[in-house]
Amino acid sequence: MYAKDYRDLGTPAPGGARESVTLEIDGAIVTVPAGTSVMRAAALADHDIPKLCATDTLKAFGSCRVCLVEIEGRKGFPASCTTEVAPGMKVRTQSEALRSLRRGVLELYVSEHPMGSCSAECRCDLEKLAEEHGIAGSRYSNPHAARAQATPKPVDASNPYFRFDNDLCIVCSRCVRACEDTQGTFALTIEGRGLESRVSASQQEPFLESECVSCGACVEACPTGALLEKSVITAGLPQQAVTTTCAYCGVGCSLVAEITDGAVSRMVPNRNGRANQGHACVKGRFAYGYATHGDRVTKPLIRKRITDEWTQVSWDEAIAYAAGEFRRIQAKYGKDSIGGITSSRCTNEETFLVQKLVRAAFGTNNVDTCARVCHSPTGYGLKHTLGESAGTQEFVSVQHADVIMVIGASPTEAHPVFASQMKRRLRAGARLIVVDPRAIPLVKSPHVVADYHLRLLPGTNVAIINALAHVVVTEGLTKDDYVAERCERDSYEKWKRFVADPKNSPEAVEKISGVPAEAIRGAARLYARGPNGAIYYGLGVTEHSQGSTMVMGIANLAMATGNLGREGVGVSPLRGQNNVQGSCDMGSFPHEFSGYRHVSDDAVRAQFESMWNVPLSGEQGLRIPNMFEAALDGSFRGMYIQGEDLAQSDPNTAHVTAALSALECLVIQDIFHNETARFAHVFLPGSSFLEKDGTFTNAERRISRVRKVIEPLAGHADWEVTMMLSNALGYPMRYTHPSEIMDEIAALTPTFAGVSFEKLDQLGSIQWPCNDAAPAGTPTMHVGRFVRGKGKFFVTAYVPTNEKTSSRYPLLLTTGRVLTQYNVGAQTRRTANLAWHSEDRLEIHPHDAEARGIEHGDWVGVTSRAGDTVLRVEITEKVSPGVVYTTFHFPESGANLITTENSDWATNCPEYKVTAVQVVKVAQPAAWQLRRRAQEPAHSPSPLNPMPVD
Amino acid sequence: MDVERLVAMANDIANFFDAEPDRKAAVEGVRFHISRFWEARMRRAIIAHVAAGGAGLSPTARDAVALLEPP
């Protein structure tokens, strides 16, 4: 069932620029692009044709025979969904003959799906059509009974979010086609024939146990109540709908929140969403129940010492206490003794306010953001080479790529909705190169097989990118004309000499990386010859000691092969959190104002001082890891952290918690008691994305509106709380709506100069830069010239990480995510997504497991030089011998107890992806983990029955 | 600040710029990077460390820190 008020035009619009065709439909003159179906043309002219198997999200199928029409001069009654318009065509959509034919077909359907089978909340298309055609029942014998005998157990309720009722299924195949075309998983099929036909998940398995990834595309496509959200069954039909933006990954899907009796009853993708193209995943579509989970903290809390119990206080008291403590600390230790952290889960407006509070009210530049630990090398690397700290493309650009290179990312797990778009292009013929130590699902999945999987040893990215460049340069595959026109000549020549050195040859790099030289050569040739080569990368690139070097290496390769500045090419970082791009854009780094301008730039600083009416420091502040060091040496004593869980997400937990414990005042603003709150003195209740207005900026620089769906549970949106704190500190903030904050951002940030809530409402979304030169935004960057003027090549020597295997720590641990959980799991652990992933496991190769006497499901101790933890084991060939892998979604897993303080040379982004470890079989989890598990509240509420909030 | 950590960070930066064939440019690259990204107390600490002999710093890092202006 589609979103409330969605109008289905029956078949998709034909792609590309096309000539117009004029025809006549029921006497009306209609002009549409060539290639449009008769069904779509009729719908556009408000002459809707009945349909069951057709929908405008899927290619026409032509099976139901309900959409028959008459066309002058043609024999018979063609199906309007599969018949294209033609000049001068005369179509009749209504006649007695057509009505009779449709009645006959509908009566057959009703024989299998009796009238009244579906309840009102299904908005069943079949029953609606049958009613319109005067059908109350079927004259045919009772095949329903025969069908029930042939396909027993009609209801599959195994999926926590939807159920399948075979008795209501009309076998139209819309679900199967949605799984194939929209999602690209191919988990569904039609099994059997005639009355025995039924939808089957995998090999007649329950949905939960099948290959189904629970994206919900099938549920949405179902024209009857056969596939239906359990939340709709419970809550009933929605009464309102609000368009907003998903708060999970960096794809930034546009979603429609449907509301029943004041609560969200369903989330469906916005068909007009430019990022997600009408699709969603198991997290965005279904895992919103955390927002009303009983664990939500809705009252402010304070305590003098972190060993004290919390005391519930009023907002005024909590704010006054926090402000008083910050001023006390500054008076005693100096103004630079405190700082703040902005959140990539909060809106642009909230992030902008936090960094403004730190710079203007605290009077220091000690502000940083969680991008420090994920994509800060992206900002550094792309800024220095291309001139802008952001990806170069929009997602739809992938449909024009000929060769797709995925480096250190697993889009099907971490960016699933974009992965579906990518897989669609791959099924259409694009070639695929995967550079990853692990056999990510994209390497081999239905109808997608990577041409090359460069399965490198963790920590050897830069060696590989240099080897790819070596092949390109030494085999004459560079685009010298492009480079001559658009790049700095001297830097190019120097770079060419560097990469051409035999030490960067695939044969030399094979010894370092473990990747066969021929595979490197083949991949390099494939990418360079494109003609359109597109690179997508993730945290497997950035979270290394050479993260920034690798980003520059990628940019070097793209420039040298002419793969920047048009559709189908580019360098695209797949951002982890929903608003990582935005939080960076908003001036969250200690050295930059919004728009990536250094604080030491007097002219820029003067603009901010004038607008904010306060002198500002021109001296860059502390980064997060530097704050920890300063806390341990006693020169940093207070922190305000909005929506970030440093104690769980940052590496070397023992080091982090020691630093947090040393603070005299830690103020946390969050929706849950996270790990960091254990060290806090003030807890300010946060608001979820459903409870506020604002904007998020996704990985393609797309700014989208976040709209308030329900009132803030704690009474205030996050931006209001920051404002209260600022006012209490004596620096007045007087915004009445986030749109006013965006107006200030636009006034101070050249790349946002043309952005306003009004324009966002008009256009739906905007990709920055948006200014006088590009009033509707900029889908593709660096067209014609690079933002920095001439593109600059950097020499990117491979420097091995200090984190090396040894006899004591012989394995390399790397980390990542699973589809159903998100980041540190604070949100998804509080949803029914636990049905798929309820604990983090350690993946280990069979050879390494056998050598240690480890069997599948055993508990193993994982020890590094930083610490140790215990995880359950999964034996798999997804990892290579010598490499182990885990996720970090559960605090009791303690993944960051093991990771080290190693970090990227340029940005201090932690080296999460390489940790030398030993793995040994143990009897049970560590004592602290057992205690932790016992303390954890039951994290398995159904979103249908969220625990009540105080 | 933990000077040992600052030394490691400075050496990591120098490792990147050491790929630059022109040593003067490499030293300038390290100096510029530290001056743009390190907070004042970090710069003060590493400058003091060099003044005390600069133990553990690579030659490029040491030369670059020597060129830093005191905050």
The pLDDT tens digits for A318-367 are 999 999 999 999 999 999 999 999 999 999 999 999 999 999 999 999 99
* Chain B residue at shortest CA distance from A635: B1
Nearest to A635 among B15, B21, B41 (CB): B41
Q: What is the DSSP string of chain B?
A: --HHHHHHHHHHHHHHHTTSSSHHHHHHHHHHHHHHHS-HHHHHHHHHHHHTT-TT--HHHHHHHHHPPP-
Interface contact flag, A366 B39, Cβ < 8 Å = yes
What percentage of residues in chain A have a pLDDT greater than 90? 88
The tens digit of pLDDT for each residue in A172-229 reads: 999 999 999 999 999 999 998 887 888 999 988 999 999 999 999 999 999 999 999 9
Q: Is the pLDDT of residue A288 over 60?
A: yes
Instruction: Give, for all 71 residues of chain B, the pLDDT tens digit.
Output: 899 999 999 999 999 999 999 999 999 999 999 999 999 999 999 999 999 999 999 999 999 999 999 99
Interface contact flag, A905 B16, Cβ < 8 Å = yes
φ, ψ for residue A238 (rounded to 5)? -70, 150
Which residues of chain A are at the B interface, by a Cβ-Cβ cutoff of 8 Å?
336, 366, 494, 498, 545-546, 548-549, 590-591, 598, 600, 619-623, 626, 629-630, 632-633, 635, 795-797, 799, 901, 903, 905-908
- Which of A795, A802, A902 best tests the B interface by mutation, with the highest count of B CBs <10 A? A795
Q: With bands split at pLDDT 50, 70 and 90, how would you rate the model's confidence at A876?
A: very high
Q: Between residues B49 and A823, which one has the greater pLDDT?
A: B49
Interface contact flag, A622 B1, Cβ < 8 Å = no
A714 within 8 A of A687, measured Cβ to Cβ: yes
Distance from C-alpha of A692 to C-alpha of A705, rounded to nearest angstrom: 10
Across the A:B interface, residue pairs with CB atoms under 8 Å apart total 64
Nearest partner of A173 among A153, A209, A200, A146, judged by Cα: A200
Q: What is the DSSP string of A298-341?
A: -S-EE-SSTTSPPEE--HHHHHHHHHHHHHHHHHHH-GGGEEEE
Token readout for A644 is 């970030």
A767 within 8 A of A700, measured Cβ to Cβ: yes
**Run of H or E residues at A112:** helix A96-112
Most confident of A58-67, A510-519, A882-891, A919-928: A510-519
Indicate the pTM of the whole model.
Answer: 0.95
A553 within 8 A of A469, measured Cβ to Cβ: yes
According to the model, what pLDDT value does residue A136 have? 86
Q: Is the pLDDT of residue A428 over 50?
A: yes
Q: Is A388 helix (H, G, I), strand (E, B) or coil?
A: coil
φ, ψ for residue A824 (rounded to 5)? -80, 5
Q: Is the pLDDT of residue A882 over 80?
A: yes
Q: Is the pLDDT of residue A660 over 90?
A: yes
ipTM surpasses 0.95 = yes
Mean pLDDT of A269-273: 95
Interface contact flag, B16 A549, Cβ < 8 Å = yes
Distance from C-alpha of A247 to C-alpha of A288, rounded to nearest angstrom: 9
The tens digit of pLDDT for each residue in A902-927 reads: 999 999 999 999 999 999 999 998 88
Peptide bond into A769 cis (omega under 30): yes
Task: Please name the residues in contact with A157: beta carbons below 8 A apart, sequence gap of 6 or more.
Answer: A163, A230
**Run of H or E residues at A265:** strand A263-269
Nearest CA of chain B to the CA of A598: how many Å?
A: 8
* Chain A residue at shortest CA distance from B14: A905
Q: Is the pLDDT of residue A944 over 90?
A: no
Q: Between residues A138 and A838, which one has the greater pLDDT?
A: A838
Token readout for A486 is 């658009």
Nearest CA of chain A to the CA of B65: how many Å?
A: 16
Interface contact flag, B9 A905, Cβ < 8 Å = yes
Mean pLDDT of A295-322: 97
Token readout for B65 is 């820190």
Interface contact flag, A600 B18, Cβ < 8 Å = no
Token readout for A880 is 């290579």
According to the model, what pLDDT value does residue A199 have? 93
Q: Is the pLDDT of residue A946 over 50?
A: no
- For A558, other C-beta atoms within 10 Å of its C-beta total 25
Nearest CA of chain B to the CA of A795: how many Å?
A: 6
Nearest to B40 among A598, A619, A632 (CB): A619
Which chain B positions have a beta carbon within 8 Å of A498's beta carbon? 19
Q: Is the pLDDT of residue A865 over 80?
A: yes
